[in-house]
Amino acid sequence: MLSTTDFQNDKDLSNLRVDLHSHTNCSDGALTPQELIERAVNFQIDVLAITDHDTVSGLDSAKQTILDKNIPLTLIDGIEISTEWQGFEIHIVGLNIDPNNEALLSLIEQQQQRRETRAITMGEKLTKCGFPDIYQQAKALAGAGSITRAHFARVLLQQGAVSKMQAAFDKYIGKGNRAYVKPNWCSIEEAVAIIHAAGGVAVMAHPIRYDLSTKWLRRLIVHFKAVAGDGLEVVLPQMNDAQRKLMLSFCLEYELHASMGSDFHQPSRWSDLGRNLRMPEHAKPIWQIW
């Protein structure tokens, strides 16, 4: 963790603006790490975690920007690891990790290989749907970063094949649709173990977004706890009160810590860095254990 202030000693971040989930163009975010840091400053964020999909490649330049410009922002080294559980794609966020840890770097290499293989197959399927060369275009958009379905969705949007990103998922690349490719991600257990080996804490990202019934969500959380997961994201910008209450009750019942983040990808009208993020009173914040 890179810090320009000294508050982390008592680990009380409750009076600070904290955002523990964000993306750069090292995965499917729109901003460079430098631009993200500058945006965080403009939004008066005190503590920011960068959590790109299966990569830590944005962290160094983000740190450099903070140092060069003497910015009063604490950067938490993070990652968002894609995992597979019972046919669902579950995202596990690692916070306060050592980005140079060998086990972590080796997992990242495997996940990148899986992303590449999946992207090629997705490209083949989309070619059959009438979109030739889409792999090359998505790859060009991703550049040196992690290639994701969001890149394919953006290409489909640019080509006018869909009217919004969501439609690309609903029509083609979302689970069960024509160009969906079943991924080969690591298990939740492996992701948690490697985050721990890298000195971090493991948080289940956006539990409300997996389209699971409460019964299945409980099963997922029981499994996550059984493999030593540490926390749940209980505060997301798009959550309603009932969802937040349910996530908080899971935290209390399974002794999990609470995390919060915007999952910022790009400037938009609906959400932004740090917006509407406040730790609920009865939650045990994840930063108490990192």
Pick the closer one to Mn ion by CB: 15 or 204.
204
Rounded to whole angstroms, how far apart are CA atoms 24 and 6? 26
Q: Is 149 in the site for ligand AMP (CB under 6 A)?
A: yes
Residue nearest to ligand AMP (CB): 148
CA angle 81, 283, 264 (to 5 degrees): 40
| Pairing of the two strands 201-204 and 74-85 | unpaired
Q: Is 205 in the site for Mn ion (CB under 5 A)?
A: yes
Q: Is 154 in the site for ligand AMP (CB under 6 A)?
A: no
Q: Count the helices and strands in the chain (H runs, E runs).
A: 9, 8
CB of residue 98 vs Mn ion: minimum separation in angstroms? 20
| Pairing of the two strands 88-95 and 257-260 | unpaired
CB of residue 251 vs Mn ion: minimum separation in angstroms? 19
Among 136, 166, 249, 276, binds ligand AMP (CB under 6 A): 166
Among 17, 39, 91, 115, binds Mn ion (CB under 5 A): 91
Among 194, 265, 279, 287, binds ligand AMP (CB under 6 A): 265
Tally Cβ neighbours within 10 Å of residue 105: 14
205 binds, among Mn ion, ligand AMP, none (CB under 5 to 8 A by kind): Mn ion
Rounded to whole angstroms, how far apart are CA atoms 260 and 95? 12
CA angle 72, 277, 192 (to 5 degrees): 85
CB of residue 28 vs ligand AMP: minimum separation in angstroms? 5
Which of positions 257-276 make contact with Mn ion (CB under 5 A)? 263
| Pairing of the two strands 74-85 and 88-95 | antiparallel
**Residue 39 C-alpha from the chain's centroid:** 18
Q: Which helix (H) or strand (E) holds 36?
A: helix 33-42
CB of residue 288 vs ligand AMP: minimum separation in angstroms? 27
Q: Is 158 in the site for ligand AMP (CB under 6 A)?
A: no
Return the axis-axis angle of helices 33-42 and 59-68, rounded to nearest 10°: 50
Pick the closer one to Mn ion by CB: 78 or 285.
78
Q: Is 233 in the site for Mn ion (CB under 5 A)?
A: no
Total interface residues for ligand AMP by CB under 6 A: 11
Contacting residues toward ligand AMP, per CB under 6 A: 28, 53, 82, 148-150, 153, 165-166, 169, 265
